[in-house]
Copies of this chain bind each other. A is one copy, B any other.
Amino acid sequence: MVRRSARSRNRRQEPAVKQLPWRQLVNPYSPIEVLSTDQIEAIHQSSLVLLERTGMRVLHEEARKILKAAGADVDPTTKMVRFDRGLVEEKVALVPSEFTLRARNPERDITLGGNRIAFCTVSGPAYCTDLDRGRRTGTFADTCDFLRLAQSLNIIHQEGGWGFEPQDLPPETRHLDMYQAQCRLLDKTWQPWALGRERSVDAIEMACIAFGTDREGLAKRPPFLTVVNTNTPLQLDIPMAEGLIEYAQAGQVVCVTPFTLAGAMGPVTLAGTLSLQNAEALAVLTLIQIVNPGAPAMYGAFTSNVDMKSGSPAFGTPEYTKAALASGQLARRHGIPFRSSNTNTSNTVDAQAVYESAMSLWGAIMGHANLVYHAAGWLEGGLTASFEKLIVDAEMLQMMAEYMKPIEVSEDTLALEAIEEVGPGGHFFGSPHTLERYETAFYSPMLSDWRNYETWKEAGSIDTTTRANKIWKRLLEEYQPVPLDPAVDEALAAYVAKRKEGMPAAGK
């Protein structure tokens, strides 16, 4: 945490951060289609054959029982579950095409599906980094700052599940502290973790407290979207199965995301990896719909490729972009809301970080992703969350939001009279047509510096990443607390304290 005294000192020097207002986004343009309908069908049919002939290994016994009861072919020795295409198609058809997530602040509710799109912060990294303190293991205080930034940035529609691991907290109870912090510091929706039964039940119980409701009330108006990954290829592990069963039973949104890296856990050909991704997603979606028919769910895609020289994953590659666009086509074929991500492989917030992110973002947005996960803050192939990248990404997201505002064509905007009034060789600066509209005519950036070279140089030649550093600090200074009802706050604290009884304490 940046010291309070430093914050006060800076307050008068740094201008307030300009942002776009909060608003839900709609993508008005047709998606980019990189495959024909026949090709999409060929990939899907190959997935169905794979599920029928080979199936998935489901390590969790209860999950196997649920699948068997619904008619899947289960081999108790190998734990392999084979899925009849009829079963898959019947169950997958139950997934709603749209859902609404309830936020503490009703104005921050988000609806996902169709052409609607939401941006969500990074989650999962082991490390965090910023220009002042470098790359390091993050603390609870760091993750709380990251939550404050997710709350403060209007372009962020959802907090993704604490930006990185607070490594000063014991792993067994970390999620309790983080859920509590998410309840306290955010009035937007946020993601809990699906890693095992306990982490899932705790999230659900704490949400009941926070919303002053019970499980039935929570199911009617779900606040949660959580990610379930497969162990690609063709395996579902126990913690993820536990998590998905809990959340599905509770009517919360499960986003099924196979972790398909072409050349490593998937075939070296994109068509093959997409077919594997599709098979795994459909298998898990089938399980979810057996657990709770009609439960909201998402089709997540994470297909990228590895560097074939080193075997390490690469993100924001041209293959990643194509896979995102193709995955959007598959999700739309199934009529299921689609999740993609904003990824990159760079080790620092430089040109590479941005051009890889741009490849990811265009794939996500023109693939009509409904949720762009890791939309802000992801660095280093997802190993590190960066405070500066969070701001660079927020600027890129704002630009994409403005790109999605259609051009208005009317007599007024065609401006024929205004053009004729100004006439040849003139300019429009003083034209009444300009003066009436100039304040809101164009996107005004948060981070970009459009000053000329001389002015920029006189002001210290400050590059974009360094400006981003100033902006996140300023946002922390400006953070507006969103206080909980004291009774709710107390009840949440009591829940956390009770659950921690007998568990390892911080600092262990």
- The interface of chain A, by Cβ under 8 A from chain B, is 29-30, 32-35, 39, 42-43, 46, 49-50, 53-54, 56-57, 80, 135, 231, 233-235, 262-272, 274-276, 305-312, 314, 317-319, 321-322, 326, 345-359, 362, 366, 380-381, 383-384, 392, 395-396, 399-400, 402-403, 405-410, 412-416, 418-420, 422-429, 431, 433-434, 437-439, 441-444, 447-453, 456-457, 461, 463-465, 468
Contacts and interface: CB of A to CB of B under 8 A. Distances in A.
A305 B441 contact: yes
A478 B311 CA distance: 30
A42 B409 CA distance: 8
Contacts of A231: 425
A86 to B, nearest CB: 20
Instruction: Find the residue from A407, A420, A424, A438 having the highest chain B CB count within 10 A.
Output: A424
Given A269-B412, A351-B353, 19 more contacts: A29-B33, A30-B32, A35-B406, A39-B409, A50-B416, A263-B434, A269-B413, A271-B414, A272-B413, A275-B416, A308-B441, A312-B452, A317-B442, A322-B407, A345-B450, A346-B449, A350-B463, A351-B463, A366-B366
A30 B29 contact: no
B419 A267 contact: yes
Contacts of A358: 354-355, 358-359, 362
B447 A54 contact: no
A331 to B, nearest CB: 16
29 contacts: A29-B33, A39-B409, A42-B414, A50-B416, A233-B426, A263-B442, A264-B428, A264-B429, A265-B428, A267-B415, A267-B428, A267-B431, A268-B434, A268-B442, A269-B437, A271-B408, A272-B414, A272-B415, A274-B407, A307-B442, A308-B441, A308-B444, A314-B442, A318-B403, A326-B407, A350-B350, A350-B465, A354-B358, A356-B448
Contacts of A425: 57, 231, 233-235
A237 to B, nearest CB: 9
A384 to B, nearest CB: 7
Contact of A314 (B309, B318, B431, B450): B450
Given A322-B403, A415-B272, A442-B263, A349 B351 contact: yes
A395 to B, nearest CB: 7
Contacts of A35: 406-407, 409
Contacts of A384: 453
Contact of A450 (B29, B312, B443): B312
A258 B272 CA distance: 47
Nearest to A414: B46
Q: How many copies of this chain does one complex carry? A: 2
Contacts of A262: 441-442
Q: Which 5 A-B pairs have the closest CB atoms?
A: A272-B415, A358-B358, A318-B402, A57-B424, A267-B415
B448 A352 contact: yes
A478 to B, nearest CB: 21
A199 to B, nearest CB: 23
A155 to B, nearest CB: 13
B420 A53 contact: yes
A443 B319 contact: yes
A453 B234 contact: no
Contacts of A426: 233
Given A30-B33, A424-B56, A461 B403 contact: no
A352 B429 CA distance: 26
Contacts of A437: 268-269
A366 B322 CA distance: 14
A324 to B, nearest CB: 11
Contact of A461 (B263, B347, B450): B347
Given A276-B419, A308-B439, A270 B347 contact: no
Contacts of A452: 312, 347, 381
Contacts of A448: 314, 345-346, 352, 356
Contacts of A43: 409, 414
A235 B427 CA distance: 12
A357 B449 CA distance: 14
Given A32-B29, A312-B452, A457-B347, A319 B383 contact: no
